[in-house]
Amino acid sequence: MLLASVDYTRPATVPEALEALASREGAAPLAGGQSLVNVLKNRVASVELLVDISRLEELRSIEASEGSLEIGACVTYDEIDRSPEIRAGHEIVSRVASHIEDQQIRNRGTIGGNCCLSDPTNNLPPLLIALGATMNIQSGSGLRQVAADEFFRGYFLTAVEPGEILRSISIPALGEGAGAGYSTLSVASDSKAIVRAAALVRGNGTIDEARVALAVVGPVPIRHSGMEEALRGGAATADAAREAAEAIGEDLEPIADAHGSTEYRRQMARVVARRAVDEAIARGGENG
């Protein structure tokens, strides 16, 4: 396919990249290209200048300290899958990355691109919300931090403004007695997600803190505060998780499309949320 005409530059440093992005309207960062190249083929967005950030070493490191992680925006899914540091403290992040599509996409697609695209079906956003991640956004004038909860703004829209890049993602330590879980419903293992949930549960026997994120129910992943409240202070058991999932009610008005009606998605949201919390409880138990 013949792509729309576009220019290309491969800056050597982050400041040079930011300068290039600010130099021209229609400039966009190019990371793994696993979405952006198709966008150029389809000519659905007008990109005039591709600023290739994929080789910038500053965006390609994984740092772990005292259980917390900082993952550079241009680290690939495959690198996340294989990273001993990530597997050690945040096994779920490696596992979710390892389930993205196929080996070829995992060798190119990046965690930063996965988030900055803000496609509601993408795998990593709900997990980062549940884990309480912080998105580190760099502009020419400095670095600012946005909670993952606040980062996703709409279909293909995030808190990253023109002229900025997502530099890295910080994920706090899970901590003692905490566990995380993740669950997806899809028709076949390789088809688009119909609904997803990610959860973090902290507590010993009793739940002290719970975070439940639901995805593919609207333009961006959301936390379900009703279910979180129902879990908090309760027993860390599968029964309690099932009961708490009933808090997902009419308040959730999921999108309807060819993959599922609003009512079907609402019911299935309860199922995946319960499964994610069950897993989080079980893993928290191992981590006590």
Partner 1 sequence: MSDAGMVHPITVTINGERYARTVQARKLLVHFIRDELALKGTHIGCDTGNCGACSIIVNGKLIKSCMMLAVQADGATIETIEGLEAEGELTPVQRAFHEHHGLQCGYCTPGMVMSATYLLRGNPDPSEEEIRRAIRGNICRCTGYVNIVRSVKAAAGAGEPAAADRAEASR
How many of the other CB atoms lie within 10 Å of CB of 29? 25
Among 40, 92, 220, 231, binds partner 1 (CB under 8 A): 40
> Cα(60)–Cα(41) distance, rounded to whole angstroms?
27
Q: By CB under 8 A, tell whether 107 contacts partner 1.
A: yes
Site map 20..39 versus partner 1, x via CB under 8 A:
----------x--xx--xx-
Q: Which is nearer to ligand FAD, 116 or 241 (CB)?
A: 116
Residue 84 within binding range of partner 1, rule CB under 8 A:
no
What is the spatial distance between Cα 141 and Cα 15, in angstroms, rounded to a whole number? 10
Could you write out the three-class secondary structure of 135-172? EEEEECCEEEEEEHHHHEEECCEECCCCCCEEEEEEEC
Residue 29, binding choice from ligand FAD, partner 1, none, Cβ under 5 to 8 Å by partner class:
ligand FAD
Q: How far apart are CA 221 and CA 149, in angstroms?
A: 8
Residue nearer to partner 1 on the CB measure, 87 or 242: 87
190 versus 239: smaller Cβ distance to ligand FAD: 190
The nearer residue to partner 1, 24 or 153, going by C-beta atoms, is 24
Residue 57 within binding range of partner 1, rule CB under 8 A: no
CB within 8 A of 149, min separation 6: which ones? 129, 223
If residue 284 lies in a helix (H) or strand (E), which one and from where to where? helix 262-286
Binding site for partner 1 (CB under 8 A): 1-8, 10, 30, 33-34, 37-38, 40-41, 48, 50, 52, 54, 78, 101-105, 107-108, 190
